[in-house]
Amino acid sequence: MSTPDPTCIFCKIVEGKIPSRKVYEDDEMLVFHDINPWAPVHFLMIPKQHIASMAQVNDSHQALLGRMMTLAPKLAMQEGCRPYPEGGFRIAINTGADGRQEVHHLHIHVFGGPRPWAKG
């Protein structure tokens, strides 16, 4: 794991300095509920390694990001999303200022549950 950014809230969550409601954790990633959910199901998937955004992703991150994307549907169902095609979920990755990224640590939002949602 790279050196954590001491100013990054998600690095502090990974280190256990800030509590979170964990959904899943392994050696490379942490998944936790969003503190201000936009939908009945809303969790974040983050690499434990500090990667500022999708703009900094390179070939060395391919396996990790692939695992995160294949884990997302399983966790969405576990957390209460209805099965496809009647149900489903949404995945969003905000990147940079124009992409409305607020926390500069790569994170994948997974949203789901009955509509209408408050946002999105």
Tokens encoding 71: 């884990």
Coil, helix or strand for 54?
helix
Q: 118 with 55: CB under 8 angstroms? A: no
Tokens encoding 35: 């503190």
Q: 9 with 103: CB under 8 angstroms? A: yes
Q: Which residues of the chain have pLDDT under 50?
A: 1
In the chain the domains, ranked by start, together with CATH numbers, are 9-112 (3.30.428.10)
107 given a catalytic annotation: yes
Name the residue type at position 88: G
pLDDT digits (tens, 9 = 90+) for 96-119: 999 999 999 999 999 999 888 877
Out of 42, 105, 107, 109, pick the active-site residue.
Answer: 107
The model carries a pTM of: 0.94
